Amino acid sequence: MDLSGIISISGKPGLAKIVTQSRNGIIVESLIDGKKFPVVGTERISSLEDISIYTYEEDVLLLEVFKKMFEHYGGKEALSHKTEAKLLKNTFGEVLPNFDEDKVYTSDIKKVFQWYNLLLKGGFLKEGKAKKEEKKSSPKKAKKSSEKTVKGTKGKKAAKKPKAKQDKE
């Protein structure tokens, strides 16, 4: 699971993925409808990597909460954020039993459920496993190809130099 580049914009529904930077801010793509739009520097932006949930012991990163929700729901969609508040709170308590009920509001819990479902539909919660497998296999392939290139260039350079010396003589 990789949440880098996924942000929440204050005053806008859902989440957005950073596409690129512009002169005045950044260009993002909405995870709800896929539309791209600019975000200027005056808007409040929160990266999902930096958000955490209050618990009675220590704060838990949102990524960890999503991992627990993914396990709890077996990789399937969670309750809708429009479900009754009491049911959402009880279900959230099953996922994260030690969350601080005084500091974590119902609106926060609704956002967590909405964001989880958006990220799941977008494939951001499943990609973590695939990326780890790619990282394990790709360095081996990269090393092999770079070794061939290095060997090939050394051989070519070594072959060219003696010919140049012979031409001069």
- At 149 the pLDDT is 38
Domains and CATH numbers, the chain: 6-122 (1.10.10.1650)
Q: Where is 52: in which H helix or E strand?
A: strand 52-53
Residues in the chain: 169
Q: Where is 8: in which H helix or E strand?
A: strand 6-9
- The pTM of the full predicted model, rounded to 2 decimals, is 0.71
pLDDT in tens, 147-159: 443 444 444 444 4
Q: What gap in Å lies between CA 152 and CA 163, rounded to an integer?
A: 17
Q: What gap in Å lies between CA 63 and CA 65, rounded to an integer?
A: 5
Tokens describing residue 100: 């601080």
